[in-house]
Amino acid sequence: MKKELLKKIIKKIFIRHKLNSKHASICANALINAELVNAKAHGISRLKMYCDRIKKKVINPKPKIKIKKISPSISQINANNSIGFVAADIGIKQAIKNAKKTGIGLVGIKNSGHYGLSSYYAEQAVEKNLIVFCFTNAPPAIAPHGAKKKLFGTNPICFGTPTSSKIPFILDTSVSVINRGKIRVAAKTGKKIPPGVALDKFGRPTTDAKKALAGVQLPIAGFRGSGLAWMVDILSGVLTGGNHGGKVKDPFDDFSGPQNIGHLFIVLKPNLFVGNYNQRIKENIKRIKKLPKVKGVKEILYPGQSKFYRYKKNLNKKINISPNVAKDLKKLNA
């Protein structure tokens, strides 16, 4: 399906679920972006979930979002249980505004929900020639090191910087071996997941996606990944006033109340310490790309390059929709 038509359909569905036109557009744009970078686990496959949560009154389609100014650099946002896309869009724009004024923008968000890809918000800051960090916590998926029960989310860490070229440096990685969305897609389509990414509820290695969802996902780098997940839980949950310590509700399975996810955005002017940042980052990247390459590698890519190429490649193509997702779309748009 052509992306503009799909975007119109998604926007119409969100409006039908009581979002205003502006908020519906924000959500549609975020979902389409995920499709264009081939992050389908964060794309339209989640549309039904968001609509279900609105129907169950655990996402507020008409939030009264409050921005509290703590200082010229720092703002706190109470998202009033809005859909995460809207809260995060307001949050990153406020962080950018603060950074443009003072050099640093720090925004903490509470009472939000799942906001999709962190890189989508990081890109907004980098486009304004700013450095950015994005943190968000998530429902339990990873067991703390030494524990048998999952508690931390896959809690992505995201960093972005201008590069003096049109392709931004964006590192966006979950602290699990693979993100939970991919396991959900595998469970829905009956596909296996790779070995070494999850354990079942009895603590045994599994390639069965449904057993993985009921069990525990494995963090990257053992106790180090578990520590990073804990760090993100503190930054985006404890610090902001959001849920933390395993209290974030699963968006697909738990309709007992709002998620109250926390997000933290830190945005910086790149010239805070040196006036020639653009030249220095260009030199940094050039030096690394000139290193000898292992057999089979044509180019050393920096984080964000592959995603940029995928986006450009897919921009004028039709978006492929799986039969299951097409079925959901048809019902929601009936």
Average pLDDT over residues 168-172: 98
The sign of the CA dihedral 182, 187, 191, 192 is positive
pLDDT tens track for 31-74: 999 999 999 989 999 999 999 999 999 999 999 999 999 999 99
Cα–Cα distance, 3 to 249 (Å, whole number): 31
Region 123-137 average pLDDT: 98
Strands 66-69 and 104-112: unpaired
Residues 6+ apart with CB under 8 A from 68: 75, 76, 77, 78
If pLDDT is split at 50, 70 and 90, which confidence band does 12 have?
very high
Mean pLDDT of 241-258: 97
Confidence of residue 2 (pLDDT cuts 50, 70, 90): very high
Is 0.85 topped by the overall pTM? yes
Q: Is residue 4 classed exposed, middle or buried when 0-12, 13-18 and 19+ CB atoms within 10 A define those classes?
A: exposed
Arithmetic mean of pLDDT, 323-331: 92
**Cα separation of 211 and 160, whole Å?**
35
**% of the chain at pLDDT higher than 70:** 100
* pLDDT average, residue stretch 83-88: 98
**How many percent of the chain have pLDDT more than 90?**
93
* Confidence bin at 185 (pLDDT 50/70/90): confident
The reported pLDDT for the residue numbered 148 is: 82
In this structure, the number of other CB atoms found within 10 A of the CB of residue 12 comes to: 14
pLDDT of residue 324: 87
For residue 334, pLDDT beyond 80: no
Q: In this structure, how many other beta carbons lie within 10 angstroms of the beta carbon of residue 178?
A: 20
pLDDT, residue 93, reads 98
**What's the pLDDT score for residue 250?**
95
How far apart CA 206 and CA 220 sit, in angstroms, is 17
Confidence of residue 184 (pLDDT cuts 50, 70, 90): confident
pLDDT value at 307 more than 80:
yes
Say if residue 80's pLDDT is above 80: yes
Residue with token string 């926007």: 11
pLDDT number for residue 189:
84
Tokens standing for 237?
């949950």
Q: What pLDDT was estimated at residue 39?
A: 94
